[in-house]
Amino acid sequence: MNVEQTTLDGVVILTPARHGDDRGFFSESWNRKRLTEAGLDYDFVQDNHSLSAQTGTVRGLHFQAPPHAQAKLVRCGRGRLFDVAVDIRQGSPTYGQWTGVELSFENGRQLLIPAGFLHGFITREPDTEIIYKCSDYYAPECDGAVRFDDPDIGIDWGAATGQAILSQKDAAAPRLADIHSPFTYEA
Ligand SMILES: Cc1cn([C@H]2C[C@H](O)[C@@H](COP(=O)(O)OP(=O)(O)O[C@H]3O[C@H](C)C(=O)[C@H](O)[C@H]3O)O2)c(=O)[nH]c1=O
């Protein structure tokens, strides 16, 4: 498994090995022991899987507040997407900064996002499926969102987002400056 750092401490890109043969390939998409050996041990308890039918679908930027904050291990099961994490830990030297990576079925890359970060993505192909592990259960009472096109964050989604396909919740999300982040940076 290849591990690449990003500009945000704790957000890393993982690429599990693929064992190809004349049938196709086999890959251990998640191996807790291997992550622990890389110093990335998370107790994932829930797998999520969503399908976005149209290119230019944006889901995010979301977080779950403590006591149900979620770390996530994100991968693309079909299609192609641009996955983004934003640091919202109060006091962090990278507060409000973002990092992004293209995840696709083809490249097999995964993004590991600790708790304390917003998560969102934009699809780059039709019928794109995202699959991700979460370190806590769904808790709608702890659900939070920030608008994906917040100018103070300034995410480059790599596409025109004026026609982004959004849920009503995401279309009405506040700017980061208008929320009180429940996360605190611990050096
Ligand atoms: C997140 C979640 C949702 N749901 C139900 C609630 C709604 O009836 C339906 C769609 O939920 P929502 O519109 O919040 O789904 P997304 O817009 O894909 O939200 C997710 O998108 C970003 C990228 C994330 O990282 C989060 O996991 C999550 O916020 O699934 C559940 O039953 N369990 C869950 O864990």
For ligand 1, atom 6: residue with the closest CA: 140
Task: Express as a percent the part of the chain with pLDDT over 70.
Answer: 100
Is there a domain that residue 66 lies in? Answer: yes
Domain extent, residue 135, equals 2-19+26-181
Looking at residue 112, what is its pLDDT?
A: 98
**Given ligand 1 and candidates 50, 130, 147, 157, which is best to mutate, with the most ligand atoms within 8 Å of its CB?**
50
- pLDDT tens for each residue of 18-41: 999 999 999 999 999 999 999 999
Whichever domain contains 80, its CATH number is 2.60.120.10
Would the pTM of this model clear 0.80, i.e. be above it? yes
The predicted pLDDT at position 161 comes to: 78
Nearest CA, atom 13, ligand 1 = 167
Residue 187 within any structural domain of the chain: no
For position 106, what pLDDT does the model report? Answer: 97
Q: Find the 9 Cα to ligand 1 centroid distance in Å.
A: 25
**Is residue 42 a part of any domain in this protein?**
yes
| Residue 186, domain member (yes or no) | no
Distance 25 CA to ligand 1 centre (A): 30
Distance 144 CA to ligand 1 centre (A): 11
Q: Other CB atoms closer than 10 Å to residue 17's CB: what's the count?
A: 13
Ligand 1 cavity residues, CB under 6 Å: 48, 50, 59-60, 62, 119-121, 138, 167
> Residue type at 176?
L
128 within a domain of the structure (yes/no): yes
pLDDT of residue 187: 84
Does the structure show a pLDDT above 90 at 160? no
ipTM of the complex: 0.98
Is residue 132 one of the residues assigned to a domain?
Answer: yes
Tens-place pLDDT, residues 147-156: 999 999 999 9
Ligand 1 atom closest to the CA of 138, numbered from 1? 35
| Predicted confidence (pLDDT) per residue in 51-66, tens digit | 999 999 999 999 999 9
Please give the tally of structural domains in the chain: 1
Is a pLDDT exceeding 90 seen at residue 116? yes
65-113, pLDDT tens digit by residue? 999 999 999 999 999 999 999 999 999 999 999 999 999 999 999 999 9
Q: What is the secondary structure of the chain as a DSSP string?
A: -EEEE-SSTT-EEEE---EEETTEEE--S--HHHHHHTT------EEEEEEE-STTBEEEEEEE-TTS---EEEEEEESEEEEEEEE-EET-TTTT-EEEEEEETTT--EEEE-TTEEEEEEESSSSEEEEEEESS---GGGEEE--TT-TTT----SS--TT-B--HHHHTPPPGGGS---EE---
